[in-house]
Structure 1
Amino acid sequence: MKRYIILLYLAVSAGIKAQIQDNPSVLTLNKIWNISESQNKQLKLAELAKEESDISILEAKDKQLPELSVVGDFRLNSKFLLYENGLFSSPQSVPIKGYGYGLGYNLDFNLYSGGKDKRNIEIKKEEKIRKQYEFELQEDNVKYMIAASYYDLYKFQEFESFISSEISSEKKQLSTIENLNKNGIVLKSDVLRISVKLSQLELSDSDVKKKIDLTKQRLNILMGRSGTEPLDISSEDILETKDLQGSNYEDYLTAALANSPDIKIVSANQTLSELNIKQVKSSLLPKISLYSRYNYTYPQISFYPYSNDLWGFGQIGLKVTYSVDNLYKSKHTIAHAYNLNKQEIEKRRIKQDDLSIKVRDAFLEREQARESVETAELTIRQSTESVRVIRNSYLNQQSLLTDLLDAENILLQAKFNLISAEANLRLSHIKLLIITGTL
């Protein structure tokens, strides 16, 4: 019979949990995370930054295309004076039209410029990778803010439940003490003390309800919804104890150094600084380009003999350009690029040290939260027994009401502490996973 009852209880519990999970109006932490991925305003902004990096790559590729321009002009010509015997001799006036025009094209195709264009594409691709890491970091930050608000809401709802239960219990206790007072067994002051405690509990209940409303608004906004939209969370959405059993500190640190978005960002910055050194050095190399141009001009006054007829002339060939001034001008620019690279290397080392501290802090925070849960559970067991003993003692007029009220307050506070400790344990575990980049 006992075994049948246990099986029935497990079946009912599983059914209730399944209903909660299937109910679309009840949101688990994972559901809220999923909604925020597409609706959170901060993530939308970060997504736009990622799209901008894609456009930057296309812009860099566009620079590899030939430069083609169409040229046209219209002009008024002055007199064409030809000084055959020197500047101070009488000039000969060459008859030309008083106006002129031209139409043509210029084509320039870069064949080699020290690899600048290809390297610029590499730089834009690396910047895109960094944007992706920045997006992941922003996504982790949003997830943590959601988790913190989610567990705050869970705590406040549990607090409200405890307080409501305590109010109901105290009302029954007040009725009992009022009857005892009427029979002359207890003093009127005991009735007043219970009434005062009820008033304090009702005030606390009102305060907790306000915190619940505020936290729901915060969660709705983080999900990209209206702050006043109804929100119900699942009290079953709590990590199992086995899920909170993690590796040791060294394993978490190894994972963080490999997966943390913070480390990936500084690594990408270091790679960009190395590419920048190569880009700056490329200014010391020659530039080779293929060019072509053709123009129709009227009148023909570029070559002798001159003519008032329309003429066309074009060229095609290879052009080599070498900036001699870069041999001395780029010296300090290259030194600057090397200095920036050294700074990025040091920043990465600093970030690694900072990350080791963060991992250690989060790891110890989780261990402390686990100890707090164990302490709170022990306190509840002891306080529950203490309340039972003192209540019986009070009803037998062997102890004071103040002793009973103190014991009840200690028990209520212990329940609060247990819920807070459980929420902090789960939140600290999520924080540790976020820092290590393994969430």
Structure 2
Amino acid sequence: MNKFTLLIVVLCASLCPMGTYAQEVVRRVISIEEMFTLADRNSKSIRPGITGVSEAAEAVKVAKNARLPEIDASLSFSYIGDGWMSDRNFSHGMNAPMPHYGNNFAIEATQIVYSGGAVSKGIAVAKLQEESARLNLESNRDKVRFMLVGYYLDLFKQQNMYRVYEKNIEQTKQVLRDIQAKGEQGIVLKNDITRYELLLSNLELTRTQIQNTIAILNNNLITTLGLSVGVVIEPDTTTITRSLPVEDGDSWTNKAIATSPLLKQMSLAVEMSRHQDKIIKSERLPKVALFAGNRFDGPILIEVPPINKNFNYWYVGVGLKYNFSALYKTNKSLNRSKFTIRRNEEQYADAREQTELSVNSGHIRYMESYVQLNTQQKSVELAGQNYTVIRNRYKNDMALITDMLDASNSKLAAEVELVNAQINIVFNYYNLLYLSGTI
């Protein structure tokens, strides 16, 4: 073996394991419920909502701090210059010696006793904002889940379509072989063979497009679910065979009104605006606080001449504060608050109405999908029977090639629509779950 041949062998040996690894594919069957669990744990679209809930929880703690006492302390040292005294007409001025080194230490604690409800309402608003953050997380989670259901069922649909096209391609190839055999005998025109070859080419092109769509959907799913690049998701085949609940429209509507995250958020917005209104009104009420403090000063400068000694004293008391300007300043704020409450109430009423309409429409489509399934099952049965009859007639030279083309296309379309009808039932069911906030 020469050196060149040896080099080729070494390169092949080193590249083969890499190629095997790059082409390694792991097929994984995932149910919709398992997909939801993976999304809750790994989806980047849900993580900001989780952080938002933690942020809102901390905001509640911050709001509760208003109930704690305020404690202020100060410490200072100073140099005091000599003073100067004179008569009221600035005559007979003279220097007044002063102690030059001064010190001050003060500490004071204040506890709010009554604030007109501003503190308690502020805490209540923070708690409502925390609940709103949770509902926002729930809403984002529902959106991600519904998006994944769309990818999942579309992947299911495309994979089933791929198998249908594979089957029809094999059937078309068999028919083409039969036609070509007859063509060699001079029984079939070359034009008929060409038309069937064109049909086969179109089927293979569509199969390639379906393969590309499957690759795109699979990539969307594994990226959102946080799975490895080499994973190929296989939908659970029991998804379209299991029995789904069929409830009346009113039940779905009542469920949506009770559980919809959007409606709950709108309701919280109304409640928060009412609390804000009470906070504004509290500005017109007096504020009462208890206070206690201690001061340690020196020297004593309030005496003439000054006394170069330290002076310590403490005090406790109750303070009353009233902002008279609030009587005329809060009027416009209160008027604005009333319009805010009304706007939020109107938005809630509109959201409720739109939710009821959406659920009603979704329920109608859900029930319609069962009718569509029954129709497609009958269509597949009839298309299959028609294809068998036409093919037998064609073999016996009792039908034209165009009849075979029409029968084959009808059979293909019926089989594809049957799969679509089965998946549409599942999609419409999860659409109802999404609209009602129970997905």
Same fold (TM over 0.5): yes
* Structure 2 residue aligned with 1:236: 237
RMSD (Å) for aligned C-alpha atoms: 1.9
Amino acid at match of 2:31: T
* Structure 1 residue aligned with 2:14: none
| Secondary structure in structure 2 of the residue aligned to 1:397 | coil
Q: Which is worse superposed, 286-295 or 408-417?
A: 286-295
**Is the contact between residue 71 and residue 103 of structure 1 (CA under 8 Å) also seen in structure 2?**
yes
Structure 1 segment 362-377 matched on structure 2, within 5 A: 362-377=362-377
* Structure 1 residue aligned with 2:329: 329
Q: 2:418 and 2:356 mapped to 1: Cα distance? A: 30
Where does the alignment leave 5 or more consecutive residues of structure 1 unmatched?
1-22
Aligned equivalent of 2:226, options 224, 227, 231? 224
Structure 1 segment 192-207 matched on structure 2, within 5 A: 192-207=194-209
Amino acid at match of 1:107: A
**Is the contact between residue 96 and residue 299 of structure 1 (CA under 8 Å) also seen in structure 2?**
no
Give the number of aligned pairs: 414
* Structure 2 residue aligned with 1:181: 183
* Structure 2 residue aligned with 1:251: 251
Aligned equivalent of 2:108, options 106, 110, 127? 106
* Structure 1 residue aligned with 2:261: 261
Q: 2:423 and 2:210 mapped to 1: Cα distance? A: 16
Give the deviation of 1:262 after TM superposition. 1.3
* Structure 1 residue aligned with 2:211: 209
| Secondary structure in structure 2 of the residue aligned to 1:45 | helix
**Is the contact between residue 71 and residue 104 of structure 1 (CA under 8 Å) also seen in structure 2?**
yes
* Structure 2 residue aligned with 1:13: none
Classify 1:24/1:101 alpha carbon distance in 2 versus 1 (closer, same or farther; 3 Å).
farther
Q: Which is worse superposed, 161-170 or 67-76?
A: 67-76
Q: 1:394 and 1:333 mapped to 2: Cα distance? A: 86
Amino acid at match of 1:428: N
1:357-408, CA deviations, whole angstroms, 9 ceiling, x for partnerless residues? Answer: 1112211221332222222212111111111111111111122112111211
Q: 2:340 and 2:93 mapped to 1: Cα distance? A: 63
| Secondary structure in structure 2 of the residue aligned to 1:41 | coil
* Structure 2 residue aligned with 1:402: 402
Give the deviation of 1:335 after TM superposition. 1.7
* Structure 1 residue aligned with 2:157: 155
Q: 1:138 and 1:347 mapped to 2: Cα distance? A: 20
TM-score by length of structure 1 reads 0.89
Q: 1:93 and 1:339 mapped to 2: Cα distance? A: 67
Q: 1:34 and 1:150 mapped to 2: Cα distance? A: 14
Q: 2:66 and 2:138 mapped to 1: Cα distance? A: 30
Give the deviation of 1:310 after TM superposition. 2.9
Classify 1:93/1:24 alpha carbon distance in 2 versus 1 (closer, same or farther; 3 Å).
farther
Matched, 1:131 2:108: no
TM-score by length of structure 2 reads 0.89
Matched, 1:30 2:27: no
Q: 1:240 and 1:205 mapped to 2: Cα distance? A: 25
Q: 1:391 and 1:327 mapped to 2: Cα distance? A: 93
* Structure 1 residue aligned with 2:317: 317
Give the deviation of 1:87 after TM superposition. 4.8
Amino acid at match of 2:62: E
* Structure 1 residue aligned with 2:299: 299
Give the deviation of 1:44 after TM superposition. 1.1
Instruction: Give the percent of matched residue pairs that are identical in Structure 1 and Structure 2.
Output: 23
| Secondary structure in structure 1 of the residue aligned to 2:239 | coil
* Structure 2 residue aligned with 1:3: none
Q: Which is worse superposed, 112-121 or 139-148?
A: 112-121
* Structure 1 residue aligned with 2:11: none
* Structure 2 residue aligned with 1:141: 143
Amino acid at match of 1:52: E
Q: 1:275 and 1:133 mapped to 2: Cα distance? A: 19
**Is the contact between residue 220 and residue 229 of structure 1 (CA under 8 Å) also seen in structure 2?**
no
**Is the contact between residue 284 and residue 323 of structure 1 (CA under 8 Å) also seen in structure 2?**
yes
Amino acid at match of 1:93: N
**Is the contact between residue 60 and residue 126 of structure 2 (CA under 8 Å) also seen in structure 1?**
yes
* Structure 2 residue aligned with 1:9: none
| Secondary structure in structure 1 of the residue aligned to 2:110 | strand
Q: 2:357 and 2:42 mapped to 1: Cα distance? A: 33
Aligned equivalent of 2:56, options 53, 56, 59? 53
Q: 1:24 and 1:38 mapped to 2: Cα distance? A: 21
Amino acid at match of 2:136: E
Q: Which is worse superposed, 372-381 or 49-58?
A: 372-381
Where does the alignment leave 5 or more consecutive residues of structure 2 unmatched?
1-25
